[in-house]
Amino acid sequence: VRGWAQADPLPSWNDGEAKRKIIEFVERVTTPGEAGFAPPAERIATFDNDGTLWSEQPAYFQLLFVLDQIRDLAPQHPEWKTKQPFASALKGDMKTVMAGGARSIAPLLAATHTGMTTEEFSRRVGAWIETARHPATGKLYTEMAYQPMLELLAYFRANGFKTFIVSGGGVEFMRVFAERVYGIAPEQIIGTSGKLKFEIREGKPVMVKLPELFFFDDKEAKPVAIQQQIGRRPLAAFGNSDGDLAMLQWTAAGGGERLPVFIRHTDSVREWAYDRQSKIGKLDKGLDEAAASGWLVVSMKDDWKRIFAFEK
């Protein structure tokens, strides 16, 4: 295999089937004359974010941002002390908040994600992401990006791929850090989004974040968003949950050389271990289809030499 003779492009991956299959795929689609050769314009790779590029435990990091924001905004909202779901959120009683499901989380999202301009929201996310610490590791959230995936993103780009995020997370949230952390530009990030309103305030146009959902980028909506916004079928797609299954199916069905991949959380020591029974990042149907279709399933425990850059 050509890549092995040169500097290892994936040093945080253990030698084994996963690393070999990934490198063989990249070499096949980039070598002129190979049956699977794809011109650079067609080299599209899509990546889920939470649980695929960075961790998602004990809760999606964007939800932890919401809780931190609620705490920061509480002095301006004395009524929150007695009003649900704010009261529980302020007490850190996530069990009560989560028990109410989406209906319970919606007011928290509205209070922290809407009613402001897109610029103001970006400033808030920027201030948070630079200082907030993960409750279990004490690390910055951006330090909890997976080192093997950062190497893989760079390796794909070095081979002419355009790398896109296609995530259920908020697009305006991810764009604040994705370019710096993942090397993925704002225009290559697809996510869940709320409606925006363009209006002129004191002679100056602003973009206001409205409390209505515009697009929820999960499950079947992922390939739909890929078609709407990219307009080309990916050659490779990486996910970690059943929410990515449709994206991987759409990718695999393109014919020719394709690489649909699930990242499986198997390392309870260095990261977390969960799949079929998990409330966050449930991977159940996806495992069945991967087995039936021969898709690559990466085991974080077995295939990754190092998970985070901060590990020794």
Nearest position to Ca ion, beta carbon: 51
- C-alpha to C-alpha distance for 292 and 288, rounded to whole angstroms: 6
The answer to whether residues 11 and 149 touch, using CB atoms and an 8 Å cutoff, is no
Decide: is 196 part of the binding site for a second copy (CB under 8 A). yes
Interaction residues for a second copy, span 238-267 (CB under 8 A): 246, 249-250, 253
The dihedral formed by the CA atoms of 52, 54, 60 and 62, expressed in degrees to the nearest 10: -120
**What is the identity of the amino acid at 182?**
Y
Q: Which is nearer to a second copy, 38 or 73 (CB)?
A: 38
- Regarding 88 and contact with Ca ion (CB under 5 A), the answer is no
Could you say which of a second copy, Ca ion, none residue 48 binds, taking C-beta under 5 to 8 angstroms by partner kind?
Answer: Ca ion
Contact 45, 236 (CB under 8 A): yes
Interaction pattern, residues 102-141, with a second copy; x per rule: CB under 8 A: ----------------x-----------------------
Give whole-number Cα distances, 280 to 40, 200, 229, 256, in Å.
Answer: 35, 40, 27, 33
The stretches of the chain forming alpha helices (DSSP H) are 2-5, 17-30, 61-73, 86-91, 94-99, 101-113, 118-131, 147-158, 171-174, 178-182, 221-225, 245-252, 285-293, 300-303
Binding mask 37-66 for Ca ion (x = CB under 5 A): -----------x-xx---------------
Written as six digits, the tokens of 117 are 């301009």
User: Which residues in the 184-243 window bind Ca ion by CB under 5 A?
Assistant: 240-241
Determine the interface stretch with a second copy among 4-12, 25-33, 63-71, 189-197 (rule: CB under 8 A): 189-197
The interface partner of residue 50, options being a second copy, Ca ion, none and the CB cut-off 5 to 8 Å by kind, is Ca ion
Q: Which residues bind Ca ion (CB under 5 A)?
A: 48, 50-51, 240-241
Q: Which residues bind a second copy (CB under 8 A)?
A: 41, 44, 118, 162, 164, 171-172, 175, 179, 185-189, 193, 196-198, 200, 204-205, 207, 214, 220-221, 223-224, 227-232, 246, 249-250, 253
